[in-house]
Amino acid sequence: MPADDLDETEDESAASAPTAGPIDIEIEAEASAERLDAALARRIPSLSRSRLKALIGEGRVTLDGTLVTEASRKINAGGRIVVDLPAPAVAKPEPEDIPLDIVHEDDDVVVLMKPAGLVVHPGAGNASGTLVNALLHHCKGSLSGIGGVERPGIVHRLDKDTSGLMVVAKTDRAHQSLAAQFADHGRTGPLERAYHAVVWGVPKYMEGTITTQIGRDPRNRQAMAAVKSGGREAITHFRVLETFGAPRPGAKIREAEAGPVASLVECSLETGRTHQIRVHMAEIGHPLLGDDLYGSGFRTKLDKLERIAPEAAEALKALNRQALHAFLLAFAHPSGRKKVMRFEAEMPEDMERLVEALRTLD
């Protein structure tokens, strides 16, 4: 899993997030009049503007010795601002010693391999044992207080049963940078996200783009769906890498058994909607193997697989999840050095075993 290391000789002007305590700022004599929150945001870039507004509202900012609680207060040249930055509050989730597969770590980010079965965020039914709990333990003492709370900055997620690469912010500055990159979806920057998926059948075209709106499925509130209106734009690019189960010339096989059984597909995201790849591949008639939520209508395919390739059927049952793995992740390092970090991860063993078993069909 290669990663580009940061060059230590590059510009290090991007300061790390400040520690708790007073921050004393002298406004330059030639500075123009501007709002207090804007002035602070320019001079303390490691804190978000919303965080600075909150500090002002909490009475933690003075201007020339006078307490100021209005973010819109105009300040003039030569003024003196003091920001009393509190220690980060302890996050509600508790740190837990859960093993993590760390691919890269520095002062700003952690890049890791999320295994299938690990939930990212604590929530209903998953109050503990999540990636956030694991990161709070792993990063103890190195989180600077994102939004004023000691916590890891989650800027993107993977479904519980999807494996693959994730990047997590350790500082407010890194969180802002990464969040902006993911919001831009790589349209103007180096952000890339790509997945390997094993799908039923073979798409009509060997490569293409699926564009729909994705919203909550009106028939199943646990699922998402491609909807005609009221959803959010979703764009997935796909490319067929390999097909499994094409009959050999002259093979004696019933017509009902003919045709490729499955395909290995590479999917890259131009947007990041909930269950996007799973919804889109099902929408074009090729749901992911193992996806009970979006591929329940393909149970007969499993029956066929059991007849013609028992080993592959067993591998699919052992997988016990959707066959989806985030194998590629690239982003600009949030240090401001314009260094592109790029990582690739091999398929986990359970998914690789399925692919190898499917190859025997050929």
Active site residues: 159
Q: How far apart are CA 69 and CA 56, in angstroms?
A: 5
CA torsion sign for 7, 13, 17, 21 is positive
Question: What is the DSSP pairing of strand 192-200 with strand 262-269?
Answer: antiparallel
User: How does 181-202 read in b/e, with b if 16+ C-beta sit within 10 Å?
Assistant: bbeeebeebebebbbbbbbbbb
Query: 37 near 72, Cβ under 8 Å?
Result: yes
Residue 311 Ramachandran class (φ > 0 left, ψ -120 to 50 alpha, else beta): alpha
| Cβ neighbours around 60 below 10 Å, total | 19
Both structure tokens of 229? 């209106």
Q: In the beta sheet, which residues pair with residue 60? A: none
Give which of 152, 125, 112, 164 is closest to 348, Cα–Cα: 164
* CA distances in angstroms from 327 to 24, 266, 345, 346, listed in the order given: 45, 9, 5, 6
